[in-house]
Amino acid sequence: NAGVMQNPRHLVRRRGQEARLRCSPMKGHSHVYWYRQLPEEGLKFMVYLQKENIIDESGMPKERFSAEFPKEGPSILRIQQVVRGDSAAYFCASSPTVGQGLYEQYFGPGTRLTVT
């Protein structure tokens, strides 16, 4: 069973460009979470999605950031008009649908975004 997949692993964007980060959850998982890790800091929650629904976006910046998890395909975290402060590692996690496993989140390897 493949783990959580994220791509690209490294992404370089110039200020003002758009960044698209993709996350494919583990097979059988329908819950996806996005976290951001700034240098020398812990992970901060951004958004929690189920298929076609945003459940909790309380950690998402109000502007320039959006997330989706369509019925088919990976979850996408989109950052418009990137700024240097967006440089960070972005991690996706997924969890199963039912049972106690619902509360366990499995993390992908992350996408390291560098804004120049």
Q: How far is the CB of 107 from another protein (least distance, A)?
A: 4
Is the peptide bond prior to 25 cis by the omega test (within 30 degrees of 0)?
Answer: no
Q: How far is the CB of 71 from another protein (least distance, A)?
A: 19
Per-residue interface string for the shown chain with another protein, residues 69-98, x marking contact by CB under 8 A: ----------------------x-x-x---
Cβ neighbors of 95 (< 8 A, separation 6 or more) are 29, 31, 33, 101, 102, 103, 104, 105, 106
- Count CB-CB contacts under 10 A for residue 96: 19
Nearer to another protein, 6 or 82 (CB): 6
Task: Say how far apart CA 10 and CA 41 lie, in whole Å.
Answer: 19
**Tokens read off for 44:** 């901060």
Q: How far is the CB of 60 from another protein (least distance, A)?
A: 11
**Binding of another protein by 18 (CB under 8 A):** no
Q: Catalog residues that contact another protein under the rule CB under 8 A.
A: 4, 31, 33, 35, 41-45, 48, 56, 58-59, 91, 93, 95, 100, 102-110
